[in-house]
């Protein structure tokens, strides 16, 4: 983790300057204008490396980030930001378009250009920042797409993905699979942007090249659905079941086994989490898409060497003082 700033540890008189300095490091250089600079200014910002991209989260009192044309000319940063508003309403004015983004929605910002972004009152957002050279799309197509993200059929999928990255940033960036997640994130964003442009050529190529990535992201976001089947996955992506299996085989992936392993990993996380200690094993199994608890227990033991109940007891014993 690259921790940027938490003003809770600073005197009130130092917070305005500290937020400005931290923002210069975390994102594009801009003027940071506080809604009430004489009032209770507060902010917490974090930057987490994820391959060649990063995850940037900010929670603060009302503020405005103004990147003028002069600043953009002086410091051309070939990066885009895709941000999910987590609290409040985000307002963006860029390239002649004005957009208001409520909580839970996605907003794209071209950090290489001038922009005016703000929220009033307490607000929060989490974003991924991706260098343009990772996306393999022309700049004019990217800028067009950023103003038209909702037109893409991938809008909800990518919004959920970025929301998960910003929420679980510590666990995801520390996991050995982080480089794979980074590559998948770039692929998903590229497909989103390509499908949000009016260029059929860019859309066709990007969707074809990122099909497996989109399938895997779709599966991860529907693991808890017991009705998730290969037939449904194929139908959602407008391909035949035969094409789906062929695509997975070409990548050395057993689809059913991968789904089971991902569900088992999620169930294991919940079994070890203190917040779920009073939740029955049966409920956890069902919450991860397992209809048959006996089947779940058998597969869990085969993968982790302990039954779910044994793992939970061992974890509780390890946390108990004096054990």
Q: Is 120 part of a structural domain of the chain? A: yes
pLDDT tens digits, 119-178:
999 999 999 999 888 887 888 888 889 989 999 989 999 999 999 999 999 989 988 888
The pLDDT value given to residue 1: 56
The region of weakest confidence among 16-30, 71-85, 189-203, 234-248 is 189-203
Using the 3D structure, point to which of 221, 246, 280 is the last residue of a domain: 221
The pLDDT value given to residue 323: 47
The pLDDT value given to residue 199: 61
pLDDT surpassing 60 at residue 280: yes
Q: How confident is the model at residue 308 (pLDDT cuts 50, 70, 90)?
A: very high
**Same domain (yes/no): 43, 146:** yes
Average pLDDT score over the chain:
88
> Which tokens hold the place of 199?
């260029």
**Same domain (yes/no): 80, 181:** yes
Helical H segments across 197-254, by residue range: 200-209, 211-220, 230-236, 241-250
Strand partners, 122: none
Q: Is 37 part of a structural domain of the chain? A: yes
User: Which element (helix H / strand E) includes 301?
Assistant: helix 293-304
- Please state the rounded mean pLDDT for residues 226-253: 88
Q: Where are the beta strands (DSSP E) in 140-205?
A: none
Interior/surface letters 204-213, b for 16+ CB within 10 angstroms, e for the rest? ebbbeebbbb
**Same domain (yes/no): 157, 108:** yes
Q: Select from 142, 94, 151 the least CA-distant residue to 118.
A: 94
Confirm if 64 and 118 have CB atoms less than 8 A apart.
Answer: yes
**Same domain (yes/no): 59, 158:** yes
Q: Is 55 part of a structural domain of the chain? A: yes
The pLDDT value given to residue 76: 60
Rg of the chain (C-alpha set): 22
Q: Is 118 part of a structural domain of the chain? A: yes
283 Cβ neighbours under 8 A, 6+ residues apart: none
Residues of the chain with pLDDT > 90, as a percent, come to: 50
Q: Is 253 part of a structural domain of the chain? A: no
As for how many domains the chain has, the answer is 2
Q: Is 283 part of a structural domain of the chain? A: yes
**Same domain (yes/no): 217, 264:** no
Q: Is 235 part of a structural domain of the chain? A: no
**Same domain (yes/no): 24, 129:** yes
pTM of the model: 0.71
The pLDDT value given to residue 250: 83
pLDDT surpassing 90 at residue 114: yes
Strand partners, 48: 55
Q: Is 112 part of a structural domain of the chain? A: yes
**Same domain (yes/no): 210, 88:** yes
Q: Which residue range forms the structural domain that includes residue 289?
A: 260-319
Strand partners, 129: 54, 81
Residue 294: CATH number of its domain: 1.10.10.60
**Same domain (yes/no): 50, 194:** yes
**Same domain (yes/no): 106, 207:** yes
Residue 188: CATH number of its domain: 2.60.120.10
- Please state the rounded mean pLDDT for residues 312-322: 73
């Amino acid at each position: 983790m690259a921790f940027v700033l938490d003003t809770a540890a600073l005197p009130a008189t130092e917070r305005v300057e500290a937020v400005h300095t931290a923002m210069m490091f975390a994102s594009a250089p801009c003027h940071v204008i506080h809604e009430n600079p004489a009032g209770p200014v507060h902010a917490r910002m974090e930057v987490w490396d994820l391959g060649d991209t990063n995850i940037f989260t900010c929670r603060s009192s009302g503020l405005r980030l103004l990147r003028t044309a002069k600043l953009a000319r002086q410091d051309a940063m070939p990066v885009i930001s895709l941000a999910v508003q987590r609290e409040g309403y985000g307002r963006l004015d860029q390239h002649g378009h004005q957009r208001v983004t409520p909580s839970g929605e996605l907003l794209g910002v071209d950090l290489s250009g001038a922009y005016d972004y703000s929220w009033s009152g307490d607000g929060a957002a989490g974003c991924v920042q991706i260098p343009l050279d990772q996306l393999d799309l022309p700049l004019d197509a990217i800028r067009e797409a950023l103003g038209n993200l909702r037109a893409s059929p991938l809008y909800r999928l990518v919004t959920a993905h970025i929301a998960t990255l910003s929420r679980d940033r510590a666990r995801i960036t520390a996991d050995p699979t982080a480089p794979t997640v980074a590559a998948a994130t770039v692929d998903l964003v590229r497909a989103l942007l390509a499908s949000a442009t009016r260029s059929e050529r860019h859309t066709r190529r990007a969707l074809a090249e990122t099909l497996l990535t989109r399938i895997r992201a779709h599966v991860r976001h529907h693991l808890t659905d017991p009705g998730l089947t290969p037939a449904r996955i194929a139908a959602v992506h407008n391909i035949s079941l035969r094409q789906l299996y062929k695509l997975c085989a070409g990548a050395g992936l057993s689809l059913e086994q991968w789904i089971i392993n991902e569900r088992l990993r999620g169930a294991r996380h919940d079994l070890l989490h203190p917040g779920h200690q009073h939740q029955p094993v049966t409920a956890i199994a069902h919450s991860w898409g397992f209809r048959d608890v006996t089947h779940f227990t058998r597969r869990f033991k085969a993968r982790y060497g302990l039954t779910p109940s044994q793992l939970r007891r061992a974890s509780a014993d390890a946390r108990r003082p004096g054990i």
